[in-house]
Amino acid sequence: GYADTSDALASHAPPERRREILSDSHCGAFAIIRLCTYFVGYFALCTAVDPTEPAALCMGLSFALSRAMSGFAITAFPLAKDTGLAHTFASAAHRGRARTILVVTMLLTGVLMWVLGAIPGTAMTVAAAVVMWHYIRTARTKFGGITGDLAGWFMQRAEFWMLAALVAYGVSVRLGVEPTRFTVAVPDQSVGMFVRVAALGVLCALVSILFCKLMHGAGHLMKRIKNPWLRVICGGFAVIALPWI
């Protein structure tokens, strides 16, 4: 899947032609180049991982997370064609039930990575989420939907970038760059505190309503000024005056 998708993306062809390349059993030059680059990069990252128990556990959980996210995408987003492994999986499974199970699996895996790895586990989860966003966007715009090859391409990329996030945290710690930590103080949970918070919420809502009304009224007022240069001057003075109100 990774090799075929690499060839299809490098072709810069329309979505129909890209799907034909995915179905082709031959391996093109771009697939070979990207596979070699992937193997070298993945091997380099594996050699740079700190041999600690949390890192090993997070690395193992990353494989489960990538597969759960890939299955969720197949059950939740449109497919590019009505044949292939992705269509077989989506049609054979109860989409709603499978989607729910996969979402629960993703959440549990993400929480476990956060509990076991703290900052690196969270970074790995965020990296997987970003890769998935790019995967869905690429599938929709460049292929017209999701296919089995794209699902494999996503899993390889997600595992690569999750491993890169894990290594990046280890490198930053070795360089002495400690993560920023914030201490959050819990306020007094009394009746008076709840009343003040509620009053502040109502006040903020009223200020927001007033701001929207002013913006709406200012737009109508500016339309009455026919001269465009005068309209720009009045708008500039209004922007200058707003911070002083």
pLDDT one-digit tens code per residue, 36-51: 888 888 898 888 888 7
How far, in Å, are 153, 160, 200 from residue 66 at the CA level? 11, 10, 43
Contact predicate 138/73, CB 8 Å: no
pTM: 0.62
Locate 114 and state its tokens: 């956060």
- Residue 121 CB-density burial (10 A; 0-12 exposed, 13-18 middle, 19+ buried): buried
Q: Which residue has the tokens 């991982």?
A: 49
Average pLDDT across the chain, whole number: 79
Q: Which residues of 171-198 are buried (b: 16+ CB within 10 A; e: fewer)?
A: eeeeeeeeeeeeeeeeeeeeeeeeeeee
Q: How confident is the model at residue 203 (pLDDT cuts 50, 70, 90)?
A: very high
d(CA 123, CA 50): 15
pLDDT tens-digit profile of 146-166? 787 788 888 888 889 988 988
Handedness of CA 85, 88, 90, 92 (dihedral sign): negative
**pLDDT bucket at 28, cuts 50 / 70 / 90:** confident
How many Cα atoms are found within 13 Å in the side-chain-facing hemisphere of 235?
16
Tens of pLDDT along 14-23? 777 777 777 7
Confidence of residue 217 (pLDDT cuts 50, 70, 90): confident
Q: What residue ranges in the chain does DSSP mark as E strands? A: none
What DSSP letter does each residue of 156-181 carry, written as one string?
HHHHHHHHHHHHHHHHHHHTT-PPP-
Three-state secondary structure call for residue 81: coil
Q: What tens digit of pLDDT does each residue of 204-214 get?
A: 999 888 888 87
pLDDT in tens, 83-130: 555 545 555 456 667 778 888 888 888 888 888 877 888 888 889 899
